[in-house]
Amino acid sequence: MTEIGRILEDTAVELLRIAVTELPTEYVEVIDEAMEETEGAVGKAQLTNILENVDIAREGSKPMCQDTGIVAFMVKVGDGFPLRSEVKEILVKATRRATEEVPLRPNAVDMFKGNTRDNVGLNGHVPIIYFDLVEGDDLELIAMPKGGGSTNIAAHRMLKPGLGMKGVKQFVIEALSNAGSLGCPPYFVGVGIGGGEDICMKLAKEALLKPFRIRSEDPKVAAIESELLEKVNELGIGAMGLGEGPTALDLHVEMAARHPASLPVGVVISCWALRHAKAVISSDGEVEIDKSV
Amino acid sequence: MDYHLKTPVPEDEIRKLKMGDLVYITGTVITARDEAHLKALELHEKGEKTPVDFKGVGVFHCGPIMKKVDGEWTVIAAGPTTSARMEIFQDNFIETFHPAIIIGKGGMGDRTSKACQEYGCVYGAFTGGAALLAARGIKKVREVHWLEELGMPECLWVYDVEDFGPMIVTIDTHGNNMTQDVKELVTARMEKIMAEMEG
């Protein structure tokens, strides 16, 4: 493997380690504030446990949750970056290494043969890799392992366009109500509207990583985000679904144009541990890791 | 109230617990998720013995991260998984094996609640994702079963634990179910929000 390939592999392993062991401090601060504000003893205890657990993880460099998820990478490859088709193979190798070294729990299950034991499989689909081609000489890499509990409460519906934005908002509220206690609240919520049956889900997943608590530049979208975040919290699911403390910490909406006959909506939810880490690698192999949100 | 229980926990001690109590346990906790529940029940139906006795111990809905260090299994992270997946056979499991406490996160439904009432079992909610708090209470990995067949997250890990917790009792033997109570409130609020929603 080339030198730059080795750098990419090491960086990907490091990003997975950071993602599963260090919760971004911006999230920790908000959970801490919520813990102070929560009056009920049950909710307060849940948030206190989360914070204590996050501290132990950071200090000991250990995964904060045993479910280190299905591994996903978001990759933006610049025109001048020296690697192309090798990137996928390198990220697969990095996933195998991280499984051993961090360690990650082996979470890739072959329906016929059982757990593959290395977080890789089948047919080139896991780890999940999203590629984008961009201008410039750098490669931007985000590692985003996501656990099964909050993945299971994702929701998708092809609405009748006549239901309009009101129908979209009602669907989001319904999805969160159904999620209830199941996915380790307080949640982060991503909503994808339009695009098609597949793209709305991808947009919803990407929306989770939009800048924390910063509303959309589009004032109409920003208003929907604020309204939905408020209403989701009015549901009163609370920390761990025990009815006390916040239900959601943030919510983002990402939009795409839709077919006239379709109104696809995706809702992707993350548990309190929205794990991710980002790095930018320059064409000459310099690595800059960004742990903020 | 806080309770520090030792396994095997006698049924009368379990029946003293009430919804909202905090529980810590010392003794034996065994991990079991979907596959392990199924396999244990299948063995029982065939008249065969399970490799471990679940009576009076903690059954932990957990697929841990384990690592072999110097030939010995050690726990890296071991938090609870979503218990609702086990709702389809938990009542049968409680009736068959008589565990003292089911440990998990996210709560369970009416079937489990009924079995807890009838056979003297409680559900202890451990904070979801708090895998290192849980690991701290695990002192020793005593045994592992079905590792080859089911893999690391799904097999039976038998732990010696000390003051493992805190778990909050959300299902007791008196018919209470905290998660179910919150769920009803949430559904009512959802209906109100939906009705008042503007375009």
What's the pLDDT tens digit per position in A227-245?
999 999 999 999 999 999 9
Spans of all domains in chain A: 3-20+64-145+275-290, 148-270
Chain A nearest-CA distance from B182, in A, is 6
Q: Which pLDDT does position A293 carry in this prediction?
A: 80
Q: Which of B165, B150, B198, B181 is nearest to B36 (CA)?
A: B150
Q: How many distinct structural domains can be found in chain B?
A: 1
* pLDDT band at residue B19 under the 50/70/90 scheme: very high
CA B147 to chain centre: 19
Q: Which pLDDT does position A259 carry in this prediction?
A: 97
Under 8 Å between Cβ of B22 and B101: no
Residue A163 CB neighbours (<10 A):
16
Q: Which pLDDT does position A260 carry in this prediction?
A: 97
What's the pLDDT tens digit per position in B41-85?
999 999 999 999 999 999 999 999 999 999 999 999 999 999 999
Residues of B marked as catalytic: 37
Query: Which of A 137-196 lie inside 8 A of B, CB atoms?
Result: 147-149, 152, 164-166, 169-170, 173-174, 177, 180-184
Whole-angstrom distance, CA of residue A253 vs CA of residue A191: 5
Mean pLDDT of B165-177: 97
CA distances to A52, A144, B185 from A131, rounded to whole Å, are 36, 14, 43
In A198-275, where do the E strands start and end?
Answer: 248-255, 263-270
Cβ pair B106:A240 closer than 8 A: yes
Cβ pair A236:B187 closer than 8 A: no
In terms of Cβ atoms closer than 10 Å to its own Cβ (0-12, 13-18, 19+), residue B81 is buried
How do strand B156-171 and strand B138-145 relate by DSSP bridges?
antiparallel
Provide the CATH number for the domain around residue B149.
Answer: 3.20.130.10
CA distances to A11, A45, A153, A202, A225 from A195, rounded to whole Å, are 32, 41, 21, 10, 19
Range of the domain at B59: 2-196
How do strand A72-78 and strand A128-134 relate by DSSP bridges?
parallel
Q: Which tokens belong to A182?
A: 């199941």
Q: Which of A130, A9, A132 is nearest to A78 (CA)?
A: A132
Q: Which tokens belong to B88?
A: 């389809």
Percent of chain A at pLDDT exceeding 90:
98
Cβ pair B82:A152 closer than 8 A: yes
Helix (H) or strand (E) holding B4: strand B2-6
Q: Which of A182, A95, A179 is nearest to A144 (CA)?
A: A95
In terms of Cβ atoms closer than 10 Å to its own Cβ (0-12, 13-18, 19+), residue A182 is buried
Chain A nearest-CA distance from B10, in A, is 26
Q: What share of chain A is helix, strand, coil (3-state, %, to 5)?
A: 40, 20, 40
CATH tag, A148-270:
3.30.1330
H helices then E strands: how many in chain A? 8, 11
Rg value, chain B, Cα: 17
Query: For the whole prediction, is pTM greater than 0.90?
Result: yes
Q: Which tokens belong to B19?
A: 């919804």
Instruction: Flag residues of chain A having pLDDT under 50.
Output: none
Residue of A nearest to B152 (CA): A106
Helix (H) or strand (E) holding A133: strand A128-134
Q: Which of B104, B111, B108, B109 is nearest to B125 (CA)?
A: B104
Please, what is the average pLDDT of chain B? 97
CA A242 to chain centre: 23
Q: Which pLDDT does position A36 carry in this prediction?
A: 98
- Tell the residue number behind the tokens 């610049």, with chain if given: A78
Q: Which tokens belong to A141?
A: 């890499």
* CB proximity A134 to B under 8 Å: no
Cβ pair B131:A64 closer than 8 A: yes
Q: Which pLDDT does position B199 carry in this prediction?
A: 82
User: A-chain residues within 8 Å CB-CB of B193?
Assistant: 173, 231, 234-235
In terms of Cβ atoms closer than 10 Å to its own Cβ (0-12, 13-18, 19+), residue A94 is buried
Q: Which of A105, A27, A91 is nearest to A271 (CA)?
A: A27
For testing contact with chain B, the best of A20, A67, A274 (most B CBs within 10 A): A67
How do strand A187-193 and strand A114-115 relate by DSSP bridges?
unpaired
